[in-house]
Amino acid sequence: MMTRTDPPSDGIRVAVSTVIFSLRRDPTTGRLAVVLPLVRRTRDPHEGRWALPGGWLDGAEELDVAASRTLAETTGLAPSYLEQLYAFGDIGRSPGRVVSIVYWALLREGAQLPIDAHNVAWFDASDLPTLAFDHNHIVDYALWRLRNKVGYSRIAHGLLPDLFSLSDLREVYEAILERDLDPANFRRQVENSGTLIPTEQFRTGSHRPARLYRYNHDVELAERGPLRSDITPATAPPVLPEKVTT
């Protein structure tokens, strides 16, 4: 960059938004569902519409810090996983020229909004209203990434507490993928992956007690390639498609 002439910063503004996923159990069906918090806009563009939490990037603030701040301000909680999703910068997506660096994050199941949270609410990811700006599109993409990534990484653990049963974990997968998985096969796959540490604790209360497992922190939650080399050296696969000029 900065190879050409030097007329920078037109009226271009940089924002940071975050798609925050968590899980909530539907009281009627008893099944887990992917939910996300949205904030109601209280000012000009798209006032009254629900939108992703976010804000302008501070000139002295790292991108991921800005995303975390977003999260703290809306949910009062720290994400268990945070990853850059995409930079959305289409000309027509907002009045003026706004480039939004969008992150996506996971919260452990059962996260509660702070009681003083006004204009913030949880929505079922598969049943969203029309959102502000291109945020429906952004959520669609984030969901696609989530569903993809759950297939080749262990991010599902980012939605669970420290101790969980294999059924808990399977339910997370089923909620994300929106289809049932075979309990027997699921057990074997996850047991052979070497990422779970069995404990001697069991969840009792109904039927046969289920052994509780703990996540093996020696293995990263998700491979990220050479990004943030201070966290992940190098190994497996990520994902992210787009644009074909062929």
Partner DNA sequence: ACAAAAGTGTTGTACGTACACCCATGA
Partner DNA sequence: TCATGGGTGTACGTACAACACTTTTGT
Residues whose CB is less than 8 angstroms from the CB of residue 123 and which lie 6 or more positions away in sequence, other chains included: 35, 36, 37, 38, 50, 129
Return the closest-CA partner of residue 172 out of 184, 197, 154: 154
Report the residue number, 110 or 209, with the smaller CB distance to DNA. Answer: 209
In this structure, what token pair is assigned to residue 38?
């949205």
Our finding on whether 218 is near a second copy (CB under 8 A) is: no
Query: Residue 193 corresponds to which tokens in the numbers above?
Result: 């992956």
Binding flag, residue 206, DNA (CB under 7 A): yes
Query: In angstroms, what is the minimal distance from the CB of 212 to DNA?
Result: 9
121 binds, among DNA, a second copy, none (CB under 5 to 8 A by kind): none
CB of 83 or CB of 168, closer to DNA: 168
Specify burial of residue 79 (Cβ count, 10 A radius: 0-12, 13-18, 19+): buried
Residue 22 CA to residue 173 CA, distance in Å, equals: 12
Using CB under 8 A, which residues numbered 92 to 151 contact a second copy? 94, 97-101, 105, 133, 137, 140-141, 144-145, 147-148, 151
Q: Element (H or E) spanning 78, and its range? A: none
Q: Which residue lies nearer to DNA by CB, 144 or 202?
A: 202
Which partner in a second copy, DNA, none is near 68 (CB below 5 to 8 A by kind)? a second copy
Tokens found for residue 161: 């507490």
The one of a second copy, DNA, none whose footprint includes residue 206, by CB under 5 to 8 A per kind, is DNA
Task: Name the DSSP class of 57.
Answer: P
Q: x-or-dash pattern for DNA, window 152-181, by CB under 7 A?
A: -------------xxx--------------
**Helix runs in the chain, H state only:** 63-75, 135-149, 166-177, 183-192
Contact status: 151 vs DNA (CB under 7 A): no
211 part of the interface to DNA, by CB under 7 A: yes
Residues that bind DNA (CB under 7 A): 165-167, 182-185, 187-189, 192, 202, 204-211, 241-243
